Amino acid sequence: MSISQAPVVCTVASADRPGIVAAVTAAIAASGGNILELHQHTDRDVGAFTARIEVDAGVDLDALQGCFDDLQVSMGLTCTIYEGGSRPRVVVLCSSVLHCLSDLLARIDLGELSCDIVAIVSDRTDAADLASRAGVPFFHVPVGEDRARQEAAVAALLDEMAPDLVVLARYMRILPEHMVGVYEGRMINVHHSFLPAFIGANPYRRAHERGVKMIGATAHYVTAELDAGPIIEQDVTRVTHADRVSDLIRLGADLERAVLVRAVGLHLEHRVFVVANRTCIFR
């Protein structure tokens, strides 16, 4: 019998049907668990059920896992128990713009994010110094003449690192589809616009030309289609006619680091569910 010493998180994903909450919460109660916080959502468009439940210390984890196994068989529910304390392995890909990487490193150092960056991979050398000061292995994989070769080398590095999560922190290259598929639902990118406005290159220049009064940034899971994956977090800030493209880049940098770090935090706390290319997020 394994009694949890700290709160645990349970997630439930399933096709919708009556009685799911009753069944899952009965299982928790039967295992001696007391619910601290329960979020549940049913996407009526596609009939998908999702829930996140925090259960207080004192639940019998073996009993609960047994109940959840039964519910898998009897009702087709996918229930997962996450105990705290583990440190997910994260690989960061970046290029020459480094504020997002810098912020991730600082927050891990301050204890604000509970994960370990096990490698920093880049097509440029700019991040080497930052990696070195943080004591994180740095891998420079330059592009040279053969793009496919570089992509294969990055893919091989990732395979070797076996990360739980890959973060594209202003990595300026498009990943090949096969790589994206491997890390579905656990590869997060930050795009420097309020998607779906300004998909692709030079969003700040285009925002300035359009004369928008707010600029934004978007963190999303990477899918095969460019800048079209499930959005996790977005934010915006006001700009004025007096802001030039260089000002938008400067102001946008704060949005980018903020949405990326929030998205990574939400993912690490098992708060993000993907349903029909949209995210359901329980805060």
184 is a contact residue toward a second copy (CB under 8 A): no
Spell out, one character per residue from 233 to 262, where the chain touches a second copy: x when CB under 8 A holds, - when not.
xxxx---xxx-x-----x--xx---x----
Handedness of CA 267, 269, 270, 272 (dihedral sign): negative
Give the Cα separation of 43 and 50 in Å (integer): 8
- Strand 187-191's sheet: what is its strand order? 138-140, 116-122, 89-94, 165-168, 187-191, 214-221, 231-238
Burial of 146 (0-12, 13-18, 19+ CB in 10 A): exposed
Name the segment binding a second copy (CB under 8 A); options: 37-45, 62-70, 114-122, 169-177: 37-45
Half-sphere exposure of 266 (CA within 13 A, CB side): 24
159 is a contact residue toward a second copy (CB under 8 A): no
103, 123, 164, 227: the catalytic one is 227
Shortest distance in whole angstroms from residue 175 CB to a second copy = 21
124 is a contact residue toward a second copy (CB under 8 A): no
* Under 8 Å between Cβ of 93 and 122: yes
Q: Which of 90, 212, 248, 266 binds a second copy (CB under 8 A)?
A: 212
* Under 8 Å between Cβ of 208 and 233: no
57 is a contact residue toward a second copy (CB under 8 A): no
Nearer to a second copy, 33 or 163 (CB): 33
Spell out, one character per residue from 76 to 105, where the chain touches a second copy: x when CB under 8 A holds, - when not.
----------------------xx--xx--
Q: Which of 196, 200, 205, 226 binds a second copy (CB under 8 A)?
A: 196
What letter represents residue 162's amino acid?
A: A
Nearer to a second copy, 23 or 168 (CB): 23
What letter represents residue 11's amino acid?
A: T
Q: Has 164 been annotated as catalytic?
A: no
In 3D, which of 250, 228, 223, 226 has the Cα closest to residue 239?
Answer: 250
Nearer to a second copy, 100 or 158 (CB): 100
**Does the N-terminal peptide bond of residue 196 adopt cis geometry, omega within 30 degrees of 0?**
yes
227 is a contact residue toward a second copy (CB under 8 A): no
Give the Cα separation of 155 and 266 in Å (integer): 25
61 is a contact residue toward a second copy (CB under 8 A): no
**Rg for the chain, CA atoms, rounded:** 21
Catalytic sites, residue numbers: 227
User: For binding to a second copy (CB under 8 A), which residues are involved?
Assistant: 16-22, 25-26, 28-29, 32-44, 51, 98-99, 102-103, 106, 109-110, 112, 133, 194-198, 210-214, 216, 230-236, 240-242, 244, 250, 253-254, 258, 275, 277-281, 283
